[in-house]
Structure 1
Amino acid sequence: MIINRADTEMMLSYIEEMVFYGYYYVAFNADKITEINKIKFFRYPLDAKDYCLAKANDAEYAQHVPIEEIISDLKAVLKSELDNSKNETIKVTGFSKRERDGKEFLENNLNANKMNEKNLEYLKDQLKYTGFGETFDAELRENIMKGDKDFKIMHTGIMNNGVPNKDTLTVELNFKKSEQTDMYFFNSYHVNLQKEENKPGMEQTFYINKDSASITMKEAYNLMEGRSVNKDLKNKEGESYNCWLKINFKESDSQGNFKLNQYHQNYGYDLEASLAKHSIKELNTPQYKEDLLNSLKKGNLQSATFVVGGAESKMYVEANPQFKTVNVYDANFQRINHRESKEEKKVESQKESVSKDHKQSSDSDEGDSGKKDNKVKKRKSPSL
């Protein structure tokens, strides 16, 4: 094969790419300068041989060789002193006779490509099922090919969950290479929740679980909003269990991450029973009921149709496993079922700013248990 020396690197890159797609033999005109678009690629040797035989009657003479020989030769050209010569063209075929090295290179290259593609598909699935979509193919491929010990990908999303204000989530996806293999794994993602411009955001890191369901991006947002999420997890012994998760904004670990409180099955929270205490229209239709339950288990603030005195009105509900109830909000997202205890009010104050009157009413609850019970009864609102 005769090529222009200036095309060596570009031709090598193109031929290596064709190996990736499963082509292992090439045919070319042996007597003329060969350009990329004039090289014929074949998967099997007989196909390459038949092509050259068909050209036997032409004035041009076609030659076929295993593609690893061309790769080895082109690499040898790039490393040789001939690159510095004044000759514009060079005959590549037969330049290097290291067939064994060429075969080893081909096998290693093919194995590496297969593993990289497998790794890419694995990471794409991880991101997809954690709620980050399918838009990171190019970035994942590029970082895998670099071969660094770890890498990060940034992602920004707008969340509103049906409420008027829109929150910005800036997410840093963390990937790390295995110490035993060249496989990369999606280990965690760090979230910055920005509720207002020019103000510090709330931050939390969520880890990807290998043996149980990981927290999705939407669930992470709901947790950071102070709501609860239902998950199936596994303990250290590998036994599965179901629980509700809720961020404890009062405590953080050594790395600044808020702790996650868990309310297990034995805690006694029954979401369906809590909903049944309210006259919710969707509970009368099995499919709508199931959709409502599933949405609340994901931590969503979910719209529902309340029927009061024969009149329908749109309201919003969210699960509250800590106090074994559901929170209800009106169409303006104002909470209307303030039956929570003094302890619940204190927890609520950790995630949102409360009025001075609210704080004073909470403080005034200090006293003997009899007076406290009377005051709580007076503040109760009618049941929906």
Structure 2
Amino acid sequence: MKIAVEDYNTVLEGLAELHTEGYAYIAFDPAFPLTDVRELNAFDNSYDAVEYCHEMRTDVDFFEYESIWPLYRAMEKGLEDSNLLDVKDGMIDLSVLLKAYYHIESETNKHKNNMDMNQKNLDYLTDQIKYTGFGEGFADVLKEKVATGDKEFKIDHSAKFGNDTVDATLNFSKSKQSDMYFFNSYNASLQKEGSAEKLEQTFYINRGSNITFKEAYNLMEGRAVHKELQNKAEEKYNSWVQLDFKHSDENGNFRIKKFSENYGYDMEAALSKHPIKELQRDDFKDSLMDSLKKGNVQLVTFQVDGKEQKHYVEANPQFKTVNVYDSDMQRLGSREARAQNQSQGESQDNKKANKAEVKDAEVVGDGATSEKAKKTRGQKV
């Protein structure tokens, strides 16, 4: 399909008019150059265009059809960039121009799709970092790292938990099949106040059961965390997890101790053995239990002998109990905790006994007793 250089604008205007009128295809004899496309047969669907070309075909003539809008856009591109035009002897080969146009469009769409995929990947990684407990503010550094195209990259992060410092290195890698990046793991390093030694552990990113940054700190402090896990058959189950500081794996990571529901730890029952004020309200109790499941040490109020005392508690699934600490975070031994519970129990028993005595006596005033009491005394056994 060729046109004379001087007919370029005429053909371009004709294509625009046909498109405006609702036509989508033109049929032509490639043996003759296009002059005025408005004189050609135009169609609003490809089926009619194909039928026309088939009917017009002879041993001598051979008709073809072409989409109007892509041809128009290709010729517009030719006006913008003359290097796209294949000009010989005053004639322009529109087939070559169309091929160049389709290539440009393909590369443009490919780039756009890559940009869209990259943005989706960045958004996903940003959310993943956020919900793993590292917070926000990583979008810019992620964009810079991904733009390098490196197979792997790392991002450093640091946070304070109380007086302790936890440094983390977030590890990312590029897919072997695409340009997608994945958040694989993070290395946590705990520096306790006043200690020269650091405790290190790598936590891996898993679908739906990531150990958050705060949970990692709690685990490295020796506490247990309640998580939803997945076995090799991809079946989900709930379990308490805790670091085993006595045993390490081949990578130097502390092994994980697991206490599933079958182990039989009932944290609510363990809490109920203590005179904890917050257990008296469902909303406070739920909040307390949620916090303990994340591995936190939680401040609670003990009610003992009519007085309130502040204590800290933490879950201890291995021994099916809760650890209790005083207000200075000094752990109370089981004997001390039992003594407080016993004291509170005796106080409750005394209150019940006093109420019972008052009820039985049914004192009505000035030392007189009720008729019911008198009759009771007068009865013979």
Interval of TM-score (by shorter of Structure 1 and Structure 2): 0.5 to 0.7
Partner of 2:230: 234
- Residues 32-111 of structure 1 aligned to structure 2 (within 5 Å): 93-95=81-83, 98-111=100-113
CA distance in 2, matches of 1:272, 1:380: 17
Query: How many angstroms apart in 2 are the aligned matches of 1:95 and 1:133?
Result: 51
Match in the other structure for 2:129: 127
1:16 — aligned with what?
Answer: none
What amino acid sits opposite 1:276 in the alignment?
Answer: S
CA RMSD of aligned residues (A): 2.5
| Contact 2:304–2:340 (Cα < 8 Å) also in 1 | no
The DSSP-based 3-state class of the residue aligned with 1:124 is helix
Cα distance in 2 for partners of 1:144, 1:249 equals 36
Identify the structure with the greater helix proportion. 2
Alignment correspondent of 1:52: none
Q: Does 1:288 align with 2:284?
A: yes
**Counterpart mapping for 1:3-18 below 5 A:** none
Alpha-carbon displacement from aligned partner over 1:337-360 (angstroms, at most 9, x marks no partner): 345xxxxxxxxxxxxxxxxxxxxx
Residue type of the partner of 1:330? D
Instruction: Give the match's secondary structure for 1:179.
Output: coil
Task: Report the AA paired with residue 178 of structure 1.
Answer: S
C-alpha distance in structure 2 between counterparts of 1:200 and 1:137, whole Å: 33
Q: What letter is aligned with 1:309? A: D
* 1:176 aligned onto 2:178: no
CA distance in 2, matches of 1:276, 1:283: 7
Give the corresponding residue for 1:382: 339
Secondary structure in 1 matching 2:133: coil
Q: State the partner residue of 1:208.
A: 205
Q: Does 1:333 align with 2:329?
A: yes
Aligned in 2, Cα 1:206/1:284: closer, same or farther, shift over 3 Å? same
Match of 1:366 in 2: none
CA distance in 1, matches of 2:297, 2:337: 23
Q: 1:179-207, CA deviations, whole angstroms, 9 ceiling, x for partnerless residues?
A: 22221111101001011367231000000
TM-score (norm 2): 0.63
Q: Secondary structure at the match of 1:131?
A: helix
Deviation at 1:92, TM superposition (A): 8.1
Corresponding residue SS for 2:122: helix
4+ residue segments displaced more than 3 Å: 91-101
Paired position in structure 1 for 2:364: none
Match of 2:299 among 296, 303, 326: 303
Q: How many angstroms apart in 2 are the aligned matches of 1:119 and 1:380?
A: 52
Q: Deviations over 1:149-207 (max 9, x none)?
A: 111110010112xxxxx111110001111122221111101001011367231000000
Deviation track 1:91-135 (CA, whole Å, cap 9, x = no partner) reads: 985355553442232112101100001101111111111111111
Equivalent residue number for residue 188 of structure 1: 185
**Residue 61 of structure 2 corresponds to which residue in structure 1?**
none
| Alpha carbons of structure 1 residues 241 and 99: separation in structure 2 relative to 1, 3 Å | same
> Are the equivalent residues in 1 in contact too, given 2:324–2:337 (CA < 8 A)?
no
The aligned amino acid for 1:132 is F
Tell me which amino acid in the other structure corresponds to 1:209: N
Q: In 2, distance between residues paired with 1:272 and 1:305?
A: 16
